[in-house]
A = this chain, B = another copy of it.
Amino acid sequence: MKVLYIFAHPEPKSFNAAMKDTALAALKEKGHEVKLSDLYAMEFNPILKASDFPDRKNPDFFNPFLEAIKASKTGAFSPDIKEEMEKVRWADLLIFQFPIYFTAMPALMKGWIDRVLAPGFGFNPVTNSAYDTGLFKVKSAMLAFTAGAPKEVYSEGGAHGDIYRHLESITHCVFEYMGMKVLPSFMVFEAGNMSGERGDEELEKYRQRISEL
């Protein structure tokens, strides 16, 4: 299997980085081909902007949606977007790993989605029924994340509400929107306050989970 691993954490010695290294090793051990987009290390730019489209349909008025549809036909995206699109095209499975900030992805990773999974590339924006006609029907996607809060806070009746509800904006409205199969998320709660022992246990759980993909 071809796996694109998209990762966003600013500290190379963090638990998140250890999760990433654990997953990459487990994937390679199983014989999968792996490409990594380490968004902090790459200094990926998360801001959707006019220069994303070097051959503008309308140079006087920037409509990101219409420019993306045109660029999806001609391939005229900026080089950093094109590079990521190539990895997505290549991959059978996309894994997104990140620490939750305010019940959602860090801006850096949201920006990868905003810019790379463009209209016309991941979904057909004209049909008005993208869920049925998503262009990534043969791919799968999975989230792996850490959260500072305990699991109870992210449960129905908990202060933040059910974690699955928060994930839907990605799992349903991005992954399923593009026709991808969604694999169960791997979640580590109370990640800010872990003993070394619990950290090791969570890494081992993650290694096993990744080995079974």
Interface residue ranges, A against B (CB under 8 Å): 10-11, 13-14, 40, 46-50, 61-65, 101-108, 110-111, 113-114, 117, 129-131, 148, 159-161, 165-166, 168-170, 172-174, 177, 192
24 contacts between A and B (CB under 8 A): A10-B64, A11-B50, A46-B46, A46-B108, A46-B111, A47-B108, A48-B107, A101-B113, A102-B110, A102-B113, A102-B170, A102-B173, A102-B174, A102-B177, A105-B110, A107-B114, A110-B110, A111-B111, A129-B159, A130-B159, A160-B172, A160-B173, A165-B168, A169-B169
| A101-B169 in contact given A10-B64, A107-B107 (Cβ < 8 Å) | no
Query: In the complex, A46→B45 CA distance in Å?
Result: 9
Query: In the complex, A21→B37 CA distance in Å?
Result: 39
Q: Evaluate contact between A107 and B111: CB separation under 8 angstroms.
A: yes
Query: In the complex, A34→B41 CA distance in Å?
Result: 38
Q: Evaluate contact between A104 and B110: CB separation under 8 angstroms.
A: yes
Q: Evaluate contact between B172 and A169: CB separation under 8 angstroms.
A: no
Instruction: Add 5 more A-B contacts to A102-B173, A104-B110 (CB < 8 A).
Output: A10-B64, A101-B114, A102-B174, A131-B159, A160-B172
Q: Evaluate contact between A192 and B46: CB separation under 8 angstroms.
A: no
Ranked 5 nearest A-B pairs via Cβ:
A107-B111, A46-B107, A11-B62, A107-B110, A103-B173
Query: In the complex, A114→B98 CA distance in Å?
Result: 13
Among A47, A65, A169: residue with most chain B CB under 10 A: A47
Query: In the complex, A170→B165 CA distance in Å?
Result: 13
| A114-B106 in contact given A46-B46, A64-B10, A65-B192 (Cβ < 8 Å) | yes
Q: Evaluate contact between A161 and B172: CB separation under 8 angstroms.
A: yes
Shortest distance from the beta carbon of A187 to any chain B beta carbon, whole Å: 16
Shortest distance from the beta carbon of A66 to any chain B beta carbon, whole Å: 8
Q: Evaluate contact between B101 and A48: CB separation under 8 angstroms.
A: yes
What residues on B are CB-neighbors of A173 within 8 Å?
A: 102-103, 160-161, 166
Shortest distance from the beta carbon of A204 to any chain B beta carbon, whole Å: 22
